[in-house]
Amino acid sequence: MRRAADPQEEQAMPVKTLRKPKPPPAFTGERADGASIAALHRQAEDCERCDLYKHATQVVFGEGPPHAPVVLVGEQPGDREDELGRPFVGPAGRLLDECLREAGVDRSLCYVTNAVKHFKFEQRGKRRLHSRPNAGEIQRCAWWLAAEIELLEPKLIVALGATALYALMGRSIGLTKYRGHLLKTMNGTPLLVTVHPSYLLRIRDRDEAQAARQAFVVDLARMQSFLPPE
């Protein structure tokens, strides 16, 4: 005959081994859908959105920490950047590094990229002379810049010069008028407007060059409040 059920026995719950909850995975910059700067970079290597890929050595994508609070945007890679495949490693990059240091900003905390990812140049004998990207090239490449910014979600974007400003605002606005100002991008991210370091390299007059460099350092120092304290 079946034993009458003991109500206490019936209520006894199966013993569960409680596991410690797993710590959250370290942030690698990869989103749940697999999108990451590294994946974007790989995609950009096959970019044919405009013709600039035809003559450039390689795509020069942005680089920096995947959670960088500040994104610096230049114009396009130069000769050296094209050879090495890294942004701002030539003369303009060295000047940028010096000025960032003087402004008390650690470049390694920033993500550095360009509005246009291929070097545009004019061949003069053995030399490759920088040539300005046109509006169509900037607009086509803005797709990559927007994708980088969407992934990074920076607290601040710094436009270095008119090409970056055009790419980020989607229209021509006066660099001279807004230089040193904090604007907002189309998506509402604070945007600091300043000159391109190559502009400083082109100034012949020593005093003028010194004053322009000082003003650039003052602009860059505004980045400090968007970076973690040291």
Which residues are near ligand URA by CB under 6 A? Answer: 74-78, 81, 87-88, 90, 92-93, 114, 198
- The least distance separating ligand URA from the CB of residue 230, rounded to whole angstroms, comes to 26
Q: Which is nearer to ligand URA, 3 or 127 (CB)?
A: 127
- The least distance separating ligand URA from the CB of residue 59, rounded to whole angstroms, comes to 12
Q: Which is nearer to ligand URA, 28 or 172 (CB)?
A: 172
Residue with token string 């942004």: 87
Q: How far is residue 163's CA from residue 137's CA, in Å, rounded to a whole number?
A: 11
Reduce the secondary structure of 198-214 to three states and give it as a string: HHHHHCCCHHHHHHHHH
Q: Which is nearer to ligand URA, 28 or 134 (CB)?
A: 134
CA nearest 94: which of 85, 81, 111? 81
Radius of gyration of the chain (CA): 25
Residues in the chain: 230
- The least distance separating ligand URA from the CB of residue 34, rounded to whole angstroms, comes to 28
- The least distance separating ligand URA from the CB of residue 62, rounded to whole angstroms, comes to 9
Q: Which is nearer to ligand URA, 81 or 137 (CB)?
A: 81
Q: Which is nearer to ligand URA, 93 or 154 (CB)?
A: 93
- The least distance separating ligand URA from the CB of residue 217, rounded to whole angstroms, comes to 18
Q: How far is residue 197's CA from residue 212's CA, in Å, rounded to a whole number?
A: 10
- The least distance separating ligand URA from the CB of residue 126, rounded to whole angstroms, comes to 20
Q: Which is nearer to ligand URA, 35 or 209 (CB)?
A: 209
- The least distance separating ligand URA from the CB of residue 32, rounded to whole angstroms, comes to 31
Q: How far is residue 1's CA from residue 10's CA, in Å, rounded to a whole number?
A: 18
Residue 214, Ramachandran bin (φ over 0: left; ψ between -120 and 50: alpha; else beta) = alpha
Amino acid at 219: D
Q: Which is nearer to ligand URA, 152 or 167 (CB)?
A: 167
User: What b/e string do you get for 185-199 counting C-beta neighbours within 10 Å, with b at 16 or more?
Assistant: eeeebbbbbbbbbbb
Which residues, in sequence order, are CB contacts of 111 under 8 Å at separation 6+? 62, 63, 64, 65, 68, 70, 71, 72, 148, 152, 154
